[in-house]
Amino acid sequence: MKRLFITSITLGLWALPAAARPPALEKDQLISRFEKYAEESRLAWGTPGMAVVLIADGKVLWSQGFGVKDAGGRDPVDVNTIFQIGSASKSFTSSLVALQVDRGQLKWADKVIDYDPDFRMFDPWVTREFTVEDTMSQRSGQPSYATDVLAFLGASRPEIRRALREVRPVSSFRSRFAYVNNLWLVSAQVVESVTGKTWEQSVASDIFQPLAMAQTNTGFEALWKSSNHITPHQGRKGSIQPLRDDWPFKDWVYTYGPAGGINSNVMDMARYVQMQLGVTPLIKAENLAVMHSPHVLVGGAQNDKPKGIFDLGLASYCLGWIRHELHPSTLIWHNGGTSGCKTVVGFCPDAGMGIVVLSNLGNTELPEALMFRYYDLYFGRPDYDYSSAFLQGRPAAPPAPAAPPNPRPPAALSEYAGQYRHPVYGLATVSLVGGGLEIAFGKTMRLKLKHWDGDSFAYTDPTESSDALEYASFSADPGGKFSLLRLTICDDVLRGRFVRQ
């Protein structure tokens, strides 16, 4: 197996120079131009509400709420409104690891299996070589987003960690970027093994409390019980739909808590950015540098027109952060997308610049557009309308596949009914419901099937904002009995094959 290791840079990238670069514009002019652009962009993306904080020279420059908490209401967003921050939570987990390294309880290069004896990847050699640092570097060899469906099925963190051993690699270990959430549960398990506390307890006591992030919390119940919180929203069929507390998949992001389960507001997040900048001491400089250093190439080209986020410049994944080589200052950032919120957190360690954008509509690039716009304003770069460019550059929804003009008839629907098992995704029960077929698996997943062609049926993934079709296909054994079910929603492990029981 080819092995690639990118050495961590241990220079003091965190420190503000004695004379940090001042904003290229006067404060009032910069704020006025940014505020106007932010509101125009929010409306263009159809986002109900958002909050923004800007940091200059390591201090809060400006903050503001825009729009409303719920598309069906009039309650305005303010700077204390709580949002889901999604994958911006990952750096909190890497920060917890950094704190344990500071305390001498861990080393970045320690083997995971020494702290979690049940840890297994598909390949035994990879299992033995997997380090604490690898769990946060997005270079595991798994397919992107492997096993994410498990959280929507109601699986527990131990069940998701156990599923790692069934995921066949699609690239060599440490050779290629592939974004996954599952390994952050392993990072958290390592922290739990040395602290004796849950991830939720550690992130509260070791990060929220020291940084006075008093309104920041974890878990859906904590979000919903906050006196000042947003409603997440999803775009479906041309409309903005709220995801309320009865949405069946509301807990999935909190199952993946160490990868995406923190709720916060922009003022608390500003304190977190100041810590990452080194303004507020919490983590030693050398370990902040490890967190902010390249571990695997993501992509990008310095001179490309910005058709998308990574075309703006060379980008690498660090440990819960993306490092973007822009001019005149390196930008370190991470976005976060839940089913109904979109976030970005970014900063320039050598200039004291930072920004946090929290919004309550999933699947947009509005926060990233505002981050790059602030970067340009701060450093006096030429104006560029990132929001419009990202909107125009979004891949068009693929046209719905045409149904076969003369579909082959299915077998009698009762012949498909039964129980089918997958080694990771568990038991799927196919039943006759109301004259059609329905598949139930996990605690919450229900798929209503519509005949497509022969023994193939179509359904819409209820967890996604996209209305693209997914497929369920049945195969018969030599005796003519349907013995195999394939679900494309689960094709990341064993191509989604469920065997009849």
Cα–Cα distance list, 156 to 251, 293, 373, 444, 501 (Å): 11, 32, 40, 13, 24
The yes-or-no verdict on residue 306 having pLDDT over 60 is no
pLDDT value at position 327? 87
Our CA angle for 151, 297, 20, nearest 5°, is: 105
pLDDT band at 394 (very low <50, low <70, confident <90, very high): confident
Q: Give, for 436, the enclosing helix (H) or strand (E).
A: strand 436-441
Q: Do both 387 and 428 map to the same domain?
A: no
Q: Do both 271 and 305 map to the same domain?
A: yes
Q: Do both 278 and 347 map to the same domain?
A: yes
Residue 197 CA, chain-centre distance (Å), reads 24
Q: Do both 33 and 72 map to the same domain?
A: yes
pTM of the model: 0.90
Residue 154 CA, chain-centre distance (Å), reads 18
> How far is it, in rounded angstroms, from Cα 247 to Cα 233?
11
pLDDT band at 24 (very low <50, low <70, confident <90, very high): low
CATH number, domain with residue 443: 2.40.128.600
Q: How do residues 129-179 score in pLDDT, each as one tens digit?
A: 999 999 999 999 999 999 999 999 999 999 999 999 999 999 999 999 999
**Rounded average pLDDT over 397-412:** 84
Q: Do both 196 and 304 map to the same domain?
A: yes
Q: How do residues 25-36 score in pLDDT, each as one tens digit?
A: 788 999 999 999
Residue 11 lies in a domain: no
The yes-or-no verdict on residue 12 having pLDDT over 80 is no
Crossing angle of the two packed helices 386-393 and 27-45, in degrees rounded to 10: 20
Q: Which residues contact 113 (CB under 8 A, 6 or more apart)?
A: 119, 127, 128, 130
Q: Which residue has the tokens 């409303």?
A: 68
Residue 496 lies in a domain: yes
Question: What residue numbers bound the domain in which 447 lies?
Answer: 413-500
Q: Do both 445 and 309 map to the same domain?
A: no
pLDDT band at 239 (very low <50, low <70, confident <90, very high): confident
Cβ density class 144-178: b for 16+ within 10 Å, e for less: eebbbbbbbbbbebebbbbbbbbbebeeebbebbb
- pLDDT greater at residue 443 or residue 318: 318
Mean pLDDT of the chain: 90
Environment class of residue 478 by beta-carbon count within 10 Å: exposed (0-12), middle (13-18) or buried (19+)? exposed
Cα–Cα distance list, 58 to 217, 321, 327, 343, 495 (Å): 24, 19, 19, 20, 48
Report how many domains make up the chain: 2
Structure tokens at 316: 């690498």
Q: Do both 369 and 426 map to the same domain?
A: no
Residue 405 lies in a domain: no
Look at residues 106, 93, 104 and name the one whose alpha carbon lies nearest to residue 199: 93
Phi and psi at residue 323, to the nearest 5°:
-105, 120
Residue 6 lies in a domain: no
* Residue percentage of the chain with pLDDT more than 90: 81
CATH number, domain with residue 238: 3.40.710.10
pLDDT band at 311 (very low <50, low <70, confident <90, very high): low
Q: How do residues 442-475 score in pLDDT, each as one tens digit?
A: 888 999 999 999 999 999 988 877 777 899 999 9
Residue 135 lies in a domain: yes
Residue 170 lies in a domain: yes
pLDDT value at position 300? 65
